[in-house]
Structure 1
């Protein structure tokens, strides 16, 4: 039995992803690697190659920031029509999304921000979580923020910089948002 002339390597090595995750698809080729490209056929039946309207091509690799319509079958193909085995990739929508108001990622200390969990299905038990740059994991209402339903209002200080997301009691996550809080410059001369 002849092995295929190329393999499609998926990194991270999974077949199921959430929207906004990034995946790298690489053609690992026996022998000459010139002219290989990553091709896909979406679940809507749209056949296309990397860097047409999706993905960023680098050599025989393709990096994709995923959205649900990217679900489909992916493989490597050479200019002469040889191809690797196909890999089926499914992209799921988050069961919830974290919205930030005002909609920014950079803030100054003493500004107030509202973080809300917007949920597709049952919203019970959603809480806003964060992991600060110092690696401290905690939920709103512990020593930061004021929880109201599935929203959290925070009066920001620089140590609040970090990654924020929504989480359910069963451990489902929303997208993550990176927030940076800058200190005010008290010695500025006007």
Structure 2
């Protein structure tokens, strides 16, 4: 150790060892306590190299990562290791450091020190990484409206898609008591899939799905995606929903109700729209027994269905509430090939006094004094968007779906 008296400020030393200092003043000298000691190590020519797993361009908060320190030409020498991470400095006798990350960005470095010697390598070159918040995947479903028995394709998108993720797929199960869903793994996805898509074969009823991704061992999971729903207009015995009046479009002044029929005593009516994602009848209507009366004060487009406590989903109904003076009266659910269908125009207050125009997929198909469009035997070619016009006014358009017999 140094013993000479020096003025305050930095000094340079050329030998390894343990150093400390203290101050003094006066005659005789009054000394402070000794400082904490600092050990100076002699640099050795070996080079430290730090690696990180997962070796991804981005890592995530709470993810378990492994830092490994390799000493080039380290031979049989016994080493201890020092680590610098964005949040701490650590010492270890092992050349691996395993820990959970925290949000932030910074460098990861290591160096080695020979055991029982005051000599060490320089710090390794840094690995720079940003620790991001846990990712939230986005699920898409196709098609959004089902034909009976069709296959449904689920796609799960997550940030840094190629960074070793496996994908897990679930169906939603209604939990009526707390207005939420539990999730059940779909067949074949308990260990995740390498592909970011999954096909559900033979889907017949309305259903909800979620996905998440995971990587590493033990598995680090993303959050669950928001639920996405594939919708079916087909009735089935365990749960069904009917709309009254039976049509897709309604005026804001109309009285519109949705009625549930099914085997379960515990159930709820759900509403899916662009502005408000998912909500129950109590937020946009009034329950009376098994009927939900809609509040039609605000015009909106939404899809409605029922969910039961035993896990069933009813048919879905697409409803448009309009503040226009004219609406198109069209079926609220798909029609069957070969059936006769009547679509008509309705004014809020006055009667028709001139020609009424009907359009199919923006193509004019009827223009005369009739306010009805009659199709005697519906075919697949009749599927599409319909609207009507009268005296410069135009209804919203509605989709008419045609299903097989």
Q: Structure 1 length normalisation: TM-score?
A: 0.48
Q: Greater relative contact order (Cα 8 A, min sep 6): structure 1 or 2?
A: 1
- Structure 1 or 2, whichever has the larger Rg, is 2
